[in-house]
Chains A and B, each alone.
Chain A
Amino acid sequence: MNIIYSILIFVTTLLTNYPLENGYDIGDIATDFSLENIDGKFVSLSDFKDAKGFIIVFTCNTCPYAILYEDRIEALNKKYAFQGYPVVAIMPNNVETKPGDSMKSMQQRAIDKGFTFPYLIDADQKIYPQYGATKTPHVYILESTTRGPVVRYIGGIDDNYKDATLVKTNFVEDAIESLKNGGAIKFTKTKAIGCSIKQ
């Protein structure tokens, strides 16, 4: 009996841990968080009372791909924050491995680049594994519903990291436009090269 019980516990543990290790899929409810912003205040999704959704971007100061996308992330916030879809950036790296991603460096980078979005630090590195983020930059678009924030898009920002003017498909913009119009999102998951998140 004990053995059966142990097996049951083992299987249940496996089943309950499995989705967490792999992070969110499209349609999953994202749990809220409370993470420190560059201004010292703690930010949660629930703070944005009127948000119709969120553009969550796992990003950092040190990854060349993240740097190439900084201006485009800022442009997304400028375009969509007032329409109800703010950018919330989260820096997931271990700052001991990447001192260039320390809170102080994040603050400096935000000043230098004029970021208008919250730039939060996942200091305990507990949030990015819940999402299943593996790299920077890595985007999750959430839609506010009565059930909570639902994951609607996972992936890259657009299809040309090198040159914003040569982009053919703006994955994030297209997804937000679809959400606004109540239409189906054409690309719900895309792939992009990025820097692995430093543990």
Chain B
Amino acid sequence: MKSFFILIVYCFLSCVSKEKTKVKLTASLPPLEIHDFSGIEPYLNLKGSKTYIVNFWATWCAPCVKEIPYFEAIQANYSEDVEVILISLDFPRQYESKLKPFIVKHQLKSKVIALDDPDMNSWIPKVDVDWDGAIPVTLIYNSSKRTFYKRTFAYNELDFELKTFLTTK
């Protein structure tokens, strides 16, 4: 009976401490950048010397989540020449419960920005006229080339596409 009681106390304590660490981890994140489309648009037209990879995704989108590690790996392997920007379409009520924990869990190094703009018909065509709103989609651009991809990527596919940009510069 005594050991059972100890077990219960132990479980309780371990749960509490786990909860604490989780809260601490998301708290250590820099504040999440949240914009409507006017705040996102500059990221689609950066004028720096790098090649920019802008991916539209959400934590609830399974094919999006699957390719996030490849974007992260590209960012790590081409950190000099490439900047990856992950634009999240997560719902605002899930920023704390889903998006931030995802960033912590996967230790995302790429820049994550949340896009909160419900008037989708007004801004989707400004990203690309051919995009009808299915995600994931990815925009890759630099000073001399710009391509919008309505598809998912494996690492080698993304690497292949990226190289066509790095050689055009």
A192 near B119 with CB under 8 A, answer no
Q: How far is A195 from B63 in the complex, measured between Cα atoms in Å? A: 9
Inter-chain contact A159/B135, CB cutoff 8 Å: no
Interface residues of A (CB under 8 A from B): 63-64, 134-135, 138, 155-156, 159-163, 166, 168-169, 171, 187, 190-198
CB–CB A135/B132 < 8 A: yes
| Set of chain B residues within 8 Å of A166, measured between Cβ atoms | 118
Q: Is the CB of B60 within 8 A of A134?
A: no
B89 at the interface (CB under 8 A from A): yes
B121 contacts which of A64, A192, A195, A197 (Cβ < 8 Å)?
A192
CB closest chain-A residue, reference B131: A191
B134 lies within 8 A of chain A by Cβ: yes
Q: How far is the CB of A133 from chain B (nearest CB, A)?
A: 9
The residues of A that contact B60 with a CB separation of less than 8 Å are 63-64, 195
- Nearest first, the 9 closest Cβ-Cβ pairs linking A and B are A191-B124, A135-B134, A196-B134, A190-B121, A134-B134, A160-B118, A193-B133, A162-B118, A192-B133
Contact A161 B118 (CB under 8 A): yes
Question: A191 — which chain B residues lie within 8 A by C-beta?
Answer: 120-121, 124-125, 131-133
A159 / chain B contacts, CB cutoff of 8 Å: 118-122
A186 to chain B, nearest CB (A): 12
A63 to B62, CA, bound (A): 10
Q: Which residue of A lies closest to B124 (CB)?
A: A191
CA distance A31 to B132 in the complex (A): 22
Interface of B (DSSP majority class): loop
Q: A191-B133, A194-B135 are in contact. List 5 more A-B contacts (CB 8 A).
A: A134-B134, A134-B150, A195-B61, A195-B135, A196-B134
Q: How far is the CA of A160 from the CA of B91 in the complex (A)?
A: 12
Query: Which residues of chain B have C-beta atoms less than 8 A from A192's C-beta?
Result: 120-121, 124, 132-133
Residues of B within 8 A of A138 (CB): 132
B133–A194 touching, CB < 8 Å: yes
Chain B residues, CB < 8 A from A193: 89, 120, 124, 133-135
Nearest Cβ in chain A — how far from B35, in angstroms? 15
Which residues in window 119-165 of B have CB below 8 A to A? Answer: 119-122, 124-125, 131-136, 150
Min Cβ gap B104→A in Å is 21
Q: A194: which B residues are within 8 A, CB to CB?
A: 133-135
Instruction: Determine the chain A residues whose CB is within 8 A of the CB of B63 once the complex forms.
Output: 196, 198
Contact partners of A162 in chain B: CB under 8 A: 91-92, 118
A195 neighbours in B (Cβ, 8 Å): 60-61, 134-135
Q: With CB as the reference atom, state the residue of chain A lying closest to B92.
A: A162
Tell me, in angstroms, the Cα distance from A150 to B58 when the chains sit together.
35
Q: Are B121 and A134 in contact (CB under 8 A)?
A: no
Chain A nearest Cβ from B13, distance in angstroms: 35
Which residues of chain B come closer than 8 Å to A163, judged between CB atoms? Answer: 118
A44 to B91, CA, bound (A): 36
Q: How far is the CB of A70 from the nearest CB of chain B, in Å?
A: 15
Contacts of A187 in B (CB 8 A): 121
A135 CA / B135 CA spacing, docked (Å): 8
Residues of B within 8 A of A135 (CB): 132-134
Contacts of B136 in A (CB 8 A): 196
In the complex, residue of chain B having the shortest beta-carbon distance to the beta carbon of A160 = B118
Which residues of A are found within 8 Å of B89, using beta-carbon distances?
193
Contact of A155 among B118, B121, B134 (CB under 8 A): B121
Contacts of B121 in A (CB 8 A): 155-156, 159, 169, 171, 187, 190-192
